[in-house]
Amino acid sequence: ITPPRHGDTPGLGGVMALDGRSGSVLWQHWTHRGVLYVDCSTDITADKTNDCVISGKGGVLSALNGRDGTVIWELKKPPTKEEVDVYAVQFIGDVDYDLVPDILTTHSSIQGGQAQGHLLILNGRSGSVLAQVATPNYESVYSHPVVTVGPDGGRIVLLSTGSIESPGGLY
């Protein structure tokens, strides 16, 4: 693997797909910051190959074609100096009924010197925001939300918050 040279790409992080038999690189995708989560469990493009959604530091959030690593959609690098970290990312059911599973993610951002956390549901096909909910007291989120089934059969999202400066909670 040859990492990008300075000036070629903002490659401070990235992902790659490897051939399971030979270990050879099938494709690689560089990102402007480090990748924290990868979920390759769903075929967004209907080409019979699972695609990947990745998230990470500095607002990294992209859907990549599982065949060749090309970008299906991505969150552009935030234009401001405010830091945004997209932590957990996972496919969930088809919330908006467009026949493509949607995405649940959490993010924390620093705005006005204060950390703020959110839970987001994104359209799996386009990446557009379907729903956004602030965490209680805008606490930071550094964990993966868990989707489970409640006693009535409905889905429940469990979310933990907190940081070094805040005790946080479980919601």
5 within a domain of the structure (yes/no)? no
pLDDT one-digit tens code per residue, 70-119: 999 998 755 455 567 777 888 998 999 999 999 998 887 777 777 788 88
Rounded Cα–Cα distance for residues 3 and 27 (Å): 13
Residue 159, both tokens: 């979310």
Rounded Cα–Cα distance for residues 163 and 47 (Å): 41
| Domain region containing 95 | 13-158
Work out how many domains the chain is built from and give that number.
1
List of the chain residues with pLDDT < 50: 1-4, 6-7, 79
CATH of the domain at 146: 2.130.10.10
149 within a domain of the structure (yes/no)? yes
75 within a domain of the structure (yes/no)? yes
